[in-house]
Structure 1
Amino acid sequence: MKRFYQIYSIITSLGMLLVLLMGAVVTKTGSGDGCGNSWPLCYGEILPTAPKLETIIEVSHRFVSAWLGLLVIILAIWAWRREPHRREIKILAGSAVFFIILQGLLGAAAVIWSQSSAVLASHFGFSLVSFASVLLIAILSFEDPDRPFIAKVSPAFKKNIYWLFAYLYAVVYTGALVRHTGSSMGCGPEFPLCNGTIFATIGSQASIHLLHRIAAIVLFIWIVYAWYHARKYYSDQKVVTKGFQFALLFVILQGVSGALIVYSNLNLFVALGHGLIISFLFGTLSYLALIVYRK
């Protein structure tokens, strides 16, 4: 039964990753209106006849999201009943269910009523939190509950990890805001400059894009510092050092893929890779925050 639980949690994690990517496809292809303002049906039908491409993309996203919502709820109940004594499992299970329902309701509201770009940008963030919660449940399923790994770091470095994790979420939001405001090419086909300069008019698409770039650069510097600090002072704790090695790798790949989005003129597959890498980075820092939280 334990093995089946582990396999199920892994499958659900991969499914959540698929939902994130499909949501990105909907945004990148402008398929959010593929069913008009009809929800949960699509133009009054479960499967619309003679659908256009954007309708197929939107319906597919809804169908997969609905099934994953059910899988997440089952996993949360299973995890809660299997390890009722573990407080972190209860928190993760509740978080996974709450945020996948919240992002579903937000998606429905975006279809029925028009939403501002600022509100729509939070949709990806909520999905990411649900994914990270499911991922951590999957990782913890391989732990001995009586001997959990506890990272022994200084209170200052622990706070640093918490703030880094929170800042990463803010950077994710700025990236989502770039997509939902149509600012992906706000700086033109240039990188690292923005329309030939390092400044932009406040409120313009260029300023939104530039804000995300600056936030991403700060994130990169912060992770480099955290990686160096962990390597220097906590080399005996392989999970911590390996965790920050992966975080450093992902943030480098994230920067490269971000530049490639500009150079490739919004290539869909490059953009999906960008979203995939940020999901890996978010999951990595989520786990690091978890193991330093333990007492």
Structure 2
Amino acid sequence: MNIQRWLKRLSLASMLGMFLILLMGALVTKTESGRGCGDDWPLCNGRFVPAYTIESLIEYSHRFVVGVVGIILLATTILVFLYSQRKDAKWFVGGAMFFTVLQAILGAFAVLWPQSALVMALHFGFSLLSFAFTLLLYLVFTKFGEALIRGDGTRLSRGARLSIWGVLLYSYVVVYLGAFVRHTESIGGCIGWPLCNGQVIPEMTGGTGVVFTHRLAAALLGLAILAVFLMIRNQAKPGSSVYQAALWSLVLVFFQILSGGFVTLTIGYDMFLVASLLHALLISCLFGILCYLAIISMQTADHREVQAYAAPRLP
């Protein structure tokens, strides 16, 4: 079999595996199964095969999947460094490996030495970065990979490029706030949606302040992505990779905000777990698309800027 096919298949398996890890991590948090294996790691309550309790099975299944995906990612890393000629692929697989190891270590520490909510919120953030890197790695070996190194012919202004990167960094802050809401168990701080406890601006204390801050940050993210899309629409063709990525980002952030309302409205009902997993799924897709948009924006410098930088300076 052609080595490029192996690279593509293994990168796809790594990406799907990381996506599964994200969802399973959210499931562990939402079902409060983080202590399902007690204080043991890598064993579960002193056993290689855990007792058949729901919490232990959920937690141990998560650990097992992380281990399997880690092996797949390791094999992918070796093949990329040995056989791929693309520097960006090596950066992406290296980043994925680094953050996968980091989030695994943080997960082990959380079991052996319980961490604060501030630290545990980083666990989801590191997993999200691992997924984003594996997504970019997979795209390298698809028809979208060419835009990562040569662009698609679009020329964006410096302001548009800076705005894209600013939105990407800000989206990570919003993700962290969402993870902090989960790990502080503040989800019930705001009853009702879009109002919070029947108020436009509630009393900013305790869980209410945490949840409302996340809601406000998510709304600002939606407006920021809308502003970026409008800028790109004026500078890029509808069929370009830049335009399509910006459009998908706008669609995903819209549904992400709605899914946040869905989570709130299902508190106390059986659909709450489904709504929470949907919320995690959408933010993962949104962050991945924003990362792709940010990378390809680096290849879209306006020709006047390129000429200005390339022109020799007079003494």
Alignment TM-score, normalising by the size of structure 2:
0.88
Residue segments in structure 1 that go unaligned for 5+ positions in a row: none
The answer to whether residue 168 in structure 2 is matched with residue 165 in structure 1 is yes
Bigger radius of gyration among the two: 2
Residue segments in structure 2 that go unaligned for 5+ positions in a row: 302-315
1:282 match: 287
In 1, Cα distance between equivalents of 2:193 and 2:265 = 8
2:180 pairs, out of 172, 177, 181, with 177
In 2, Cα distance between equivalents of 1:155 and 1:83 = 31
2:266 match: 264
1:71 match: 72
* Per-residue Cα deviation, 1:168-202 (whole angstroms, up to 9, x for no partner): 100000000011010112112x1111112233444
- Indicate the SS of the match to 1:185: helix
Residue type matched to 2:167 in 1? L
Residues paired across the two proteins, number: 292
In 1, Cα distance between equivalents of 2:297 and 2:247 = 16
2:158 pairs, out of 155, 158, 161, with 155
- Indicate the SS of the match to 2:81: helix
Percent of paired sites with the same residue: 39
In 1, Cα distance between equivalents of 2:119 and 2:200 = 28
Following superposition, the deviation at residue 203 of structure 1 comes to 4.7
- Indicate the SS of the match to 2:187: coil
2:307 match: none
In 2, Cα distance between equivalents of 1:252 and 1:28 = 23
1:250 pairs, out of 243, 252, 255, with 252
In 1, Cα distance between equivalents of 2:88 and 2:39 = 39
- Indicate the SS of the match to 1:95: helix
- Indicate the SS of the match to 2:234: helix
Query: What is the CA RMSD across the aligned residues, in angstroms?
Result: 1.8
2:17 match: 15
Following superposition, the deviation at residue 81 of structure 1 comes to 2.0
In 2, Cα distance between equivalents of 1:262 and 1:146 = 39
Aligned ranges 1:26-105 → 2 under 5 Å: 26-49=28-51, 51-84=52-85, 86-105=86-105
In 1, Cα distance between equivalents of 2:150 and 2:275 = 36
Aligned ranges 1:183-262 → 2 under 5 Å: 183-188=186-191, 190-235=192-237, 238-262=240-264
Following superposition, the deviation at residue 157 of structure 1 comes to 0.9
